[in-house]
Amino acid sequence: MNRLPCHPPRSAPQPAAGRGASLRKWMAARLAPSLLITGIVLGGVATGSHAADWLDQRGAGPIIGDVAAGKEKSFVCRACHGQQGHSPIPQFPNLGGQHAEYMYWEMVKYQRSIRPQSPMSEQMAPMSDQDLRDIAVFFASQVVAPVTTTTKAGEAGERGNRLYREGDPEAGVPPCQGCHGVNGAGIAGRPDWPILRMQHGEYLAMRLRAYRDGTAPRASNDFIMEGVAKHLDDTMINDLATWLDSMHFAQP
């Protein structure tokens, strides 16, 4: 297996105290077999002659960039993702207020062909590493003002809320809040894991299906999601997306 290294390492982040840490320990126990198959064994790397290249994000450091420079460099990005990072297209992600670390690594995956080929691949190809860092910190600095949403969660949203908070142990699905925080607001100690509450439901459902169906990027963080999403059926995915979309502009 060929492991593509990340950028300068730092010491591993310490687990958060309280319920979140307990949930992550439970998830680690549940997902260990999946992580072994995909090449990660509790911090180690498994080898295999037929394994695809993958990006190792473990131990990656914080992303530092220039917000003003990022604004100038992101003019093409803003055509699809909005001037402040609020995309008018529900199939494209909102970037405003997202963790810079998460956005940086998603761009790296396009640049290194870790993510499937798309128009984003061509946009990322000529950019330098500093360009990616500047763009990431620019969008992270943008705060999308909360507005009234017309989305009605209904019964699907109620099921999605319960699944997000409690998981489904019988189906092998851990609580989403263990890694993505209460109400999808993210976890400060893991900025390489995304904030979900700000995203379009259609985009979230598309990404979850990709993880479940094995068409997601090949990176260490993505292997974790593959282990979770393989237990999700279409109804579960729709419920989660519906609930998170109903909170689209709600305050944490």
Q: Torsion over CA of 21, 104, 94 and 54, rounded to 10 degrees?
A: -70
CA nearest neighbour of 30 among 230, 174, 223, 236: 174
Task: Give yes or no for a contact between 206 and 216, defined as CB atoms under 8 angstroms apart.
Answer: no
**How does residue 62 score in pLDDT terms, banded at 50, 70 and 90?**
very high
- Whether the per-residue pLDDT at 1 is higher than 70: the answer is no
* Mean pLDDT of all residues in 145-151: 51
Reported confidence tier of residue 44, pLDDT bands at 50, 70, 90: very low
Angle at CA of residue 127, ends 64 and 11, nearest 5°:
35
For residue 24, what pLDDT band results from cuts at 50, 70 and 90? low
> What's CA 187's distance to the chain center, in Å?
12
Assess whether pLDDT exceeds 50 at residue 97. Answer: yes
Residue 107 CA, distance from chain mean position: 12
pLDDT > 90 in the chain, percent: 59
Averaged pLDDT for residues 116-141: 94
Burial class (CB in 10 A: 0-12, 13-18, 19+), 12: exposed
59's tokens: 């131990």
What is the pLDDT confidence band of residue 50, given thresholds at 50, 70 and 90?
very low
CB distance 144 to 249 below 8 Å: yes
**Residue 100 to residue 129: CA distance in whole angstroms:** 13
Q: For 161, phi and psi rounded to 5 degrees?
A: -60, -45
Confidence class of residue 38 from pLDDT cuts 50, 70 and 90? very low
Structural domains for the chain? 1-60+148-252 (1.10.760.10), 67-140 (1.10.760.10)
Task: Give me the pLDDT at residue 8, please.
Answer: 39
**Least reliable range by pLDDT among 26-35, 136-145, 226-235:** 26-35
How many CB atoms sit inside 10 A of residue 194's CB? 23
Indicate the pLDDT class of residue 173, thresholds 50, 70 and 90: very high
Residue 229: closest CA among 159, 161, 167? 167
Instruction: Say whether pLDDT at 89 is over 50.
Output: yes
22-26, 43-47, 199-203: which has the minimum mean pLDDT? 43-47
Instruction: Please state the pTM of the whole predicted model.
Output: 0.78
